[in-house]
Structure 1
Amino acid sequence: MFSFEQTFFENRQWWRLITPTFIHFSFAHLAFNCLWIYILGEKIEKFDGILVFFSLVIFSAIFSNSLQFFWSNTSLFGGLSGVIYALIGFCMVNEMDSTYGRYDIPPGLYLFMIIWLVLGFLGIVEMFGFGAVANFAHLGGLISGIIFAVLYKLFFMNWSN
């Protein structure tokens, strides 16, 4: 009912674009994702507002879940990790041209998350017992966060001038 599968197209079950973000396969997975949502979400909401944060979450959930479904050819996946990577991408782009550390996120965190993404694609994360990883959802999240940040900056700059 909540997974992303072919019936989503056939029966117009549009909620399946987002609901995989609410499915977690372990308590540790859920706790880790909730922690990142709290840490990163608070920073984005503080500087950019609840509407930007909410829009980023919805956009990235749809984008990352779609990428995972189409590139991995499986419907059994879940988690907020794609959204987490979108928050990372969004913050990273916004801090690149910021002279004062807008979100005050250590640069090492961005590097760690990108290395973790690469390790996931190489199979090393799964090899060390962290379970199956929705690598394309992670990649889709990072890409969608970067796209959202660029569009947000273009819109905000044009709107504020």
Structure 2
Amino acid sequence: MFSFEQTFYENSQWWRLITPMFIHFSFAHLAFNCLWIYILGEKIEKFDGSFVFFCLVIFSAIFSNSLQFFWSNTSLFGGLSGVIYALIGFCMVNEMDSPYGRYDIPPGLYLFMIIWLVLGFLGIVEMFGFGAVANFAHLGGLISGIIFAVVYKFFPLYRSN
């Protein structure tokens, strides 16, 4: 019901672009995603507002889940990790031209997340028992977060400050 199927677009079941972010396959997966949403989402919402955060989450869920579906050739996947990578991409772009660190995120965190993405594509994350990884959702999330940040710089939706 909530995962993708090959007839997805033909049946106009648009909610399947969003619902994978509500499905998690382990408690640890859910806990880590909730932690990242709390840490990154709070910073984005505080500086840019709830509406921007909401739009970023929905846009990145649709983008990352679509990329995972079309490039991985599987219809069952879940998690919020694509959205987490979008938050990382959004923050990374917005902090590039901020002299005081707009979100106050350590640069090492960005490096860690990029390395984790690469390790996922190399199969190392799965090899060490972390389970199957939706690598294209992660990549799609990062790309969508960067796109959203660049567009947001030129067409701000709302700024709380």
TM-score by length of 2: 0.96
Task: State how far apart, in whole Å, the 2-side matches of 1:115 and 1:14 are.
Answer: 32
Instruction: Indicate the SS of the match to 2:157.
Output: helix
Q: What is the CA distance between 1:158 and its match in structure 2?
A: 12
For the Cα contact (< 8 Å) 2:64–2:138, is it kept in 1? yes
Is the Cα–Cα contact under 8 Å of residues 52 and 157 in structure 2 kept in the other structure?
no
Change (3 A) 1:73 1:157: closer
Q: Residue 102 and residue 8 in structure 1: after superposition, are their counterparts in 2 closer, same or farther (change >3 A)?
A: same
SS at match of 1:132: coil
Give, in whole Å, the separation in 2 of the partners of 1:111 and 1:97. 18
Query: What secondary structure, in the 3-state scheme, does the structure 2 residue paired with 1:8 have?
Result: coil
How many residue pairs are counted as aligned between the two chains? 161
What's the secondary structure of 2:140's corresponding residue?
A: helix
Q: Which moved more, 1:37-46 or 1:7-16?
A: 7-16
- For 1:77, what is the secondary structure of its paired residue? coil
1:45-100: CA deviation from partner (whole Å, max 9, x where unpaired): 00000000000000000000000000001011100000000000000000001001
Cα 1:157–1:19, aligned 2, differ >3 Å: closer, same or farther?
A: closer
Change (3 A) 1:158 1:31: closer
Question: In structure 2, do the counterparts of structure 1 residues 159 and 102 end up closer, same or farther at CA, with 3 Å as the change threshold?
Answer: closer
Show structure 1 runs of 5+ residues with no match.
Answer: none
RMSD: 2.1
**SS of corresponding position for 2:153:** helix
- CA shift in 2, pair 1:54/1:108, >3 Å: same
**Whole-Å separation in 2 of the counterparts to 1:66 and 1:73:** 11
Tell me how far apart the structure 1 counterparts of residues 109 and 75 of structure 2 sit (CA, whole Å). Answer: 30
Cα drift, residue 11 of structure 1: 1.2
Structure 2: tracts of 5 or more residues without a match: none
2:97 aligns to what?
97
User: Displacement of 1:8 after TM fit?
Assistant: 1.8
Question: Structure 1 residues 100 and 60, CA, compared in 2 at 3 Å: closer, same or farther?
Answer: same
CA distance in 2, matches of 1:27, 1:151: 35
Tell me how far apart the structure 1 counterparts of residues 9 and 157 of structure 2 sit (CA, whole Å): 37
What is the rounded CA distance, in whole Å, between the counterparts of 2:125 and 2:79 in structure 1?
16
- The answer to whether the 8 A contact 2:47-2:160 is kept is no
Structure 1 residue 6: Cα displacement: 1.8
Larger mean CA deviation between 55-64 and 7-16 belongs to: 7-16
Partners of 2:117 and 2:77 in 1: CA distance:
16
Deviation at 1:127, TM superposition (A): 0.2
The answer (yes or no) to whether the contact 2:51–2:158 under 8 Å persists in 1 is no
Q: Following superposition, which runs of at least 4 residues in structure 1 exceed 3 angstroms of deviation?
A: 157-161
Q: Please, what TM-score do these two structures have when normalized by structure 1?
A: 0.96
Distance 1:92 1:48, change over 3 A: same
